[in-house]
Chain A
Amino acid sequence: MRAEPAASAPGGEASPRPVKAPLPTPVLNRKSGGRLLTDTRFWPTEVWKSPWSLPRYRAGAMWLAGIVLGIAAAGFAVGELAVWAEKLLALLGRTSLPPAVAAWVWVLIKLTCVIGVIVVNGLWAVWWERKISAHIQSRFGPMYAGGFHGWAQTILDSIKLLLKEDVTPAAADQPMHLLAPIMAIAPCVMAFAPVLFGDELAAAKLDVGVLYIFAFASISVIGIVMAGWASGNKYSLLGGLRAAAQIVSYELPRGFSVVPVIMFAGSLDLAVIDQAQAGYWLGFVPRWFVFYPVVGQLAFIFFLIASVAETNRTPFDIPEAESELVAGFHTEFSGIKWAMFFLMEYGYVLLSSFLLAVFFLGGGAAPLPFLDFIPSWIWMVSKAMLMMFVFLWFRWTFPRMRVDQLMDFNWKILLPWSFANIGFAGVLVYLHRSGWGPG
């Protein structure tokens, strides 16, 4: 059986190898180097024993703190973006351009900015999702591209997607297959028009901003259904149909959960809703809608859940459930077409995050009075990023629901309670008008 009898004494300290060859033991003999780990430092028991003793961990914490402080300082230096925008508009008015042309140039500038936000958000959100998911899962995520924590990874990925071959399956409906991503992304861009990026900082000031956003955000589902249909793939078709049912259903609680906010603010204009939350109770509790007793929290949770469902993310990602439908409606898309769907998904995540920030988290208001010196757009963006983190956090924690459970949850729990919440809001508004409660 064995060439030698067991050389190691049973239970002894001897090596399990019968005879250790005195020849050199070549190991890891690639040209490329690398730091050799000769202990069990990678065991979680060792790694988690004292995280602060790890230079890597300390450096990461320092970097994070530095980035946060740097952003705050940059915001302080730049000041309010809305003021800059007004200065730019005034500059445009002083030029010799005819007023109509100047107006169009102004619109073009704003459009470029919005599209820029969506594209940059795509790059940023994918990277952020990768890093967040990685660290939640005790991994690193991208580490190489660009040097610092793989910051250039998504930029390179987008270049790859642009250069990739655009494959249209033979069974696909060709014009529809081409049109579907466009149909999906265009409403996403349009829905961003009245979104507030800071106090008064929006591409378009609309009196019916809330309605406008909801109206356009729900058009994208047509693109998704088209994608599912045009792919000529049964899985994609199932995904597209699931998406249609899901998105149309969750529109309702999403809309109704905002009604209390509209009742409190008395307007559909996002800027008015934002302004309505300025100020503090007792000097330190911000008057955000999420802090309104019961109604605010319920509305916030309903809107958050409905937004997660709207954006097709776990636990409501049944249209693209990768373990069931492989990738659902975008299975048969590649290259830039596929990137369009991803831009759309992350665009809607950003949209929902901004809406959550405006509706419930006070928009550009500082959480504490003495932090007022930081401009509103910093607060707005950081609140939106916090909400985006919640989206990611949900995605990497929860399992996926089943189609019928999803519908049950919507129609039997979310929708009735969001109706009830409107009633609660009415009571609250009535009490307030009758002089109860603070401010």
Chain B
Amino acid sequence: MIGYFKTVFLSTWAFIEGLWITLRYLFKPAVTVQYPTEKLVPYDAFRGALLFDPATCIACSLCAKACPSACIALASQTHPETKKRVPKPEWYTLDLGKCNFCGLCQEACPTKPKSVWHSLDYEYSFSSRDEMVRCWKPGFPLAGRVWDPRRKEFRDLESHIPVREVEARK
């Protein structure tokens, strides 16, 4: 009989303790970040969408070899007269649909500064597979362009027009 009441009392006490915890949290401020109106800036080391700089690239294709999922393709320029390979990229494509975000290409890149690197950009979305493949040619904007199969030409990324420079989170 005493055991019965003890069980009832202890169970009730355990319930009340649980209720007390949830009640305490009810009056604590929420910890979530309100994403579209508040945006967390990633840390410096963050591996976001890959970016490419045709100006520094030497077309060594080490990045393409380092990539585990073969998402990088490039072609080097040839000299117009001698038809010899020039250490400049003619075109460079990154398939973000295949990308593993592992950072191996960035580590393999021998140039200083890196000509392919992970930016802090985590806001990328695609509505078709063509948009996943970003292409850079000399003279293209920093964010690259995508091939539009319908119009048979390159077009700018729709959602990535302004590029804002932000200090990484410390």
* A163 interfacial by beta-carbon distance below 8 Å: no
Residues from chain A with a CB closer than 8 A to the CB of B25 are: 135-138
Given A38-B169, A137-B25, A397-B22 in contact, is the A31-B162 Cβ separation under 8 Å? yes
* B131 interfacial by beta-carbon distance below 8 Å: no
Residues from chain A with a CB closer than 8 A to the CB of B31 are: 42-44, 47-48, 138
Interface residues of B in 118-166 (CB under 8 A from A): 119-123, 142-143, 159-166
B120 to A25, Cβ gap below 8 A?
yes
Interface size on B, residues (CB 8 A): 56
Interface size on A, residues (CB 8 A): 51
| 11 A-B contact pairs sorted by A residue (CB < 8 Å) | A3-B110, A25-B120, A27-B121, A27-B165, A29-B161, A30-B159, A35-B39, A37-B38, A54-B29, A57-B29, A135-B25
* A36 interfacial by beta-carbon distance below 8 Å: yes
Partner of B30, one of A16, A27, A135, A394: A135
B interface residues with partner A (beta carbon < 8 Å): 15, 18-19, 21-23, 25-42, 44-45, 48, 51, 53, 107-110, 112-114, 117, 119-123, 142-143, 159-170
A-B residue pairs, 3 tightest by C-beta: A27-B120, A26-B163, A21-B113
Q: How many A-B residue pairs have CB under 8 A?
A: 156
* A39 interfacial by beta-carbon distance below 8 Å: yes
Nearest B-chain residue to A28, judged by Cβ: B39
Given A3-B110, A38-B41 in contact, is the A56-B166 Cβ separation under 8 Å? no
Q: How far is the CB of B5 from chain A (nearest CB, A)?
A: 12
A25 to B113, Cβ gap below 8 A?
no
Whole-angstrom CA separation of A34 from B37 in the bound complex: 4
* A17 interfacial by beta-carbon distance below 8 Å: yes
Residues from chain A with a CB closer than 8 A to the CB of B51 are: 23, 26
B113 to A27, Cβ gap below 8 A?
no
Given A29-B143, A393-B22 in contact, is the A398-B166 Cβ separation under 8 Å? no
Whole-angstrom CA separation of A44 from B29 in the bound complex: 9
Known: A39-B170, A393-B22, A393-B23; 7 extra A-B contacts, CB below 8 A, are A15-B44, A23-B53, A28-B120, A29-B123, A42-B32, A135-B26, A140-B32
